[in-house]
Amino acid sequence: MNIKPANIKSEEMNEIRIAPNKYEKILENNNIKPTAMRLLVLQFLLNRKVATSLTDVENYFAKSDRTTLFRTLKTFVEKGISHKIDDGTGITKYALCEDNCHCEIDTDLHLHFHCTKCNETVCITEYKIPPIHLPKDYIAENVNLVVKGICDKCNSK
Protein backbone atom coordinates (compact mmCIF):
# COMPACT_ATOMS: atom_id res chain seq x y z
CA MET A 1 0.00 0.00 0.00
CA ASN A 2 1.78 3.15 -1.15
CA ILE A 3 -1.03 5.68 -0.74
CA LYS A 4 -0.60 8.13 2.10
CA PRO A 5 -3.18 10.92 1.89
CA ALA A 6 -2.35 14.21 3.56
CA ASN A 7 -2.98 14.46 7.29
CA ILE A 8 -2.58 10.73 7.90
CA LYS A 9 -0.17 10.04 10.72
CA SER A 10 2.56 7.46 10.27
CA GLU A 11 1.18 5.35 13.13
CA GLU A 12 -2.17 5.13 11.31
CA MET A 13 -0.44 3.89 8.18
CA ASN A 14 1.51 1.40 10.30
CA GLU A 15 -1.74 0.13 11.80
CA ILE A 16 -3.11 -0.48 8.32
CA ARG A 17 0.11 -2.32 7.38
CA ILE A 18 0.16 -4.34 10.62
CA ALA A 19 -3.51 -5.32 10.70
CA PRO A 20 -4.72 -5.12 7.10
CA ASN A 21 -6.55 -8.41 7.51
CA LYS A 22 -8.83 -6.89 10.18
CA TYR A 23 -10.03 -4.15 7.81
CA GLU A 24 -9.95 -6.33 4.71
CA LYS A 25 -12.08 -8.91 6.48
CA ILE A 26 -14.74 -6.30 7.31
CA LEU A 27 -14.88 -5.24 3.66
CA GLU A 28 -14.79 -8.76 2.27
CA ASN A 29 -17.52 -9.93 4.69
CA ASN A 30 -19.71 -7.24 3.14
CA ASN A 31 -18.78 -8.13 -0.45
CA ILE A 32 -16.60 -5.07 -0.96
CA LYS A 33 -13.29 -5.36 -2.75
CA PRO A 34 -10.61 -4.00 -0.40
CA THR A 35 -8.73 -1.14 -2.06
CA ALA A 36 -6.21 1.11 -0.35
CA MET A 37 -8.67 4.02 -0.20
CA ARG A 38 -11.54 1.88 1.09
CA LEU A 39 -9.30 0.51 3.83
CA LEU A 40 -8.21 4.02 4.82
CA VAL A 41 -11.77 5.40 4.84
CA LEU A 42 -12.96 2.41 6.87
CA GLN A 43 -10.22 2.99 9.43
CA PHE A 44 -11.09 6.70 9.55
CA LEU A 45 -14.77 5.91 10.22
CA LEU A 46 -13.88 3.29 12.84
CA ASN A 47 -11.85 5.89 14.72
CA ARG A 48 -14.62 8.52 14.71
CA LYS A 49 -17.02 8.90 17.62
CA VAL A 50 -19.39 11.15 15.65
CA ALA A 51 -21.16 10.97 12.31
CA THR A 52 -19.03 12.27 9.45
CA SER A 53 -19.86 14.30 6.36
CA LEU A 54 -18.26 13.88 2.95
CA THR A 55 -16.53 17.22 3.56
CA ASP A 56 -15.03 15.88 6.82
CA VAL A 57 -13.67 12.86 4.95
CA GLU A 58 -12.45 15.04 2.09
CA ASN A 59 -10.64 17.40 4.50
CA TYR A 60 -8.94 14.49 6.24
CA PHE A 61 -7.84 12.94 2.94
CA ALA A 62 -6.92 16.30 1.42
CA LYS A 63 -5.09 14.95 -1.61
CA SER A 64 -7.73 12.36 -2.52
CA ASP A 65 -10.36 12.73 -5.19
CA ARG A 66 -13.78 13.82 -3.87
CA THR A 67 -15.58 11.49 -6.28
CA THR A 68 -13.59 8.48 -5.05
CA LEU A 69 -14.40 9.36 -1.45
CA PHE A 70 -18.10 9.84 -2.24
CA ARG A 71 -18.25 6.52 -4.09
CA THR A 72 -16.52 4.80 -1.17
CA LEU A 73 -19.08 6.18 1.30
CA LYS A 74 -21.92 5.28 -1.08
CA THR A 75 -20.61 1.72 -1.43
CA PHE A 76 -20.36 1.39 2.35
CA VAL A 77 -24.02 2.44 2.68
CA GLU A 78 -25.19 0.15 -0.13
CA LYS A 79 -23.35 -2.83 1.37
CA GLY A 80 -24.50 -2.17 4.94
CA ILE A 81 -21.23 -1.13 6.56
CA SER A 82 -22.51 2.37 7.25
CA HIS A 83 -25.73 4.35 7.15
CA LYS A 84 -26.68 7.87 6.14
CA ILE A 85 -28.07 10.33 8.64
CA ASP A 86 -30.23 13.34 7.82
CA ASP A 87 -29.79 15.44 10.95
CA GLY A 88 -31.64 18.47 9.61
CA THR A 89 -28.50 20.47 8.82
CA GLY A 90 -28.80 19.90 5.08
CA ILE A 91 -25.54 17.95 5.08
CA THR A 92 -25.68 14.16 4.88
CA LYS A 93 -23.65 12.45 7.56
CA TYR A 94 -22.33 8.89 7.60
CA ALA A 95 -21.77 6.54 10.53
CA LEU A 96 -20.74 2.91 10.77
CA CYS A 97 -23.44 0.36 11.47
CA GLU A 98 -23.35 -1.93 14.46
CA ASP A 99 -22.37 -5.56 14.00
CA ASN A 100 -25.24 -7.60 12.60
CA CYS A 101 -27.10 -4.48 11.45
CA HIS A 102 -29.02 -4.77 8.20
CA CYS A 103 -30.57 -1.28 8.34
CA GLU A 104 -34.02 -2.82 8.40
CA ILE A 105 -36.84 -0.50 9.43
CA ASP A 106 -38.39 -2.97 11.87
CA THR A 107 -35.24 -4.04 13.75
CA ASP A 108 -32.13 -1.90 13.26
CA LEU A 109 -33.06 1.76 13.48
CA HIS A 110 -31.81 3.86 16.37
CA LEU A 111 -31.86 7.38 17.71
CA HIS A 112 -29.50 10.11 16.49
CA PHE A 113 -28.59 13.18 18.53
CA HIS A 114 -27.54 16.48 16.94
CA CYS A 115 -25.85 19.04 19.20
CA THR A 116 -26.91 22.58 18.39
CA LYS A 117 -23.73 23.98 19.97
CA CYS A 118 -20.89 21.92 18.46
CA ASN A 119 -22.92 20.78 15.42
CA GLU A 120 -21.91 17.13 15.91
CA THR A 121 -24.28 14.24 15.33
CA VAL A 122 -23.94 10.92 17.12
CA CYS A 123 -25.69 7.57 16.94
CA ILE A 124 -27.30 6.52 20.19
CA THR A 125 -27.70 2.86 19.38
CA GLU A 126 -28.96 1.89 22.84
CA TYR A 127 -32.24 3.61 21.97
CA LYS A 128 -34.01 1.82 19.14
CA ILE A 129 -36.82 3.40 17.17
CA PRO A 130 -39.96 1.41 17.99
CA PRO A 131 -41.91 -0.20 15.16
CA ILE A 132 -44.22 2.24 13.44
CA HIS A 133 -47.50 0.84 12.18
CA LEU A 134 -48.66 2.75 9.14
CA PRO A 135 -52.17 2.78 7.69
CA LYS A 136 -53.07 0.22 5.06
CA ASP A 137 -51.34 0.73 1.69
CA TYR A 138 -48.59 2.94 3.18
CA ILE A 139 -45.05 1.65 2.76
CA ALA A 140 -42.19 3.01 4.87
CA GLU A 141 -38.93 3.41 2.96
CA ASN A 142 -36.94 5.30 5.56
CA VAL A 143 -37.30 6.25 9.21
CA ASN A 144 -35.08 8.84 10.86
CA LEU A 145 -35.35 10.10 14.42
CA VAL A 146 -33.08 12.98 15.39
CA VAL A 147 -33.17 14.64 18.78
CA LYS A 148 -31.65 18.12 18.82
CA GLY A 149 -30.18 19.73 21.89
CA ILE A 150 -26.90 20.11 23.77
CA CYS A 151 -24.54 17.12 23.97
CA ASP A 152 -22.79 15.92 27.11
CA LYS A 153 -19.46 17.53 26.08
CA CYS A 154 -21.00 20.96 25.50
CA ASN A 155 -23.23 20.68 28.57
CA SER A 156 -20.24 20.09 30.86
CA LYS A 157 -18.32 23.15 29.66
User: pLDDT (tens digit, 9 = 90+) per residue, 36-88?
Assistant: 999 999 999 999 989 999 999 999 999 999 999 999 999 999 998 999 999 98
Does any domain span residue 127? yes
Does any domain span residue 129? yes
CATH of the domain at 31: 1.10.10.10
Instruction: Tell me what pLDDT residue 16 has.
Output: 46
pLDDT in tens, 75-119: 999 998 999 999 989 999 999 887 666 565 555 678 899 999 999
Of 9-13, 124-128, 144-148, give the lowest mean pLDDT range: 9-13
Does any domain span residue 5? no
Does any domain span residue 1? no
78-102: string of b/e by CB count within 10 Å (b at 16+)?
eebbbbbbebeeeeebbbbbeeebe
pLDDT at 31 over 90: yes
Does any domain span residue 44? yes
Does any domain span residue 30? yes
What is the extent of the structural domain holding 56?
A: 10-155
Task: Say how many domains are in the chain.
Answer: 1
Does any domain span residue 112? yes
Contacts of 98 (CB under 8 A, 6+ apart): 108, 125
Does any domain span residue 4? no
Instruction: Tell me what pLDDT residue 111 has.
Output: 86
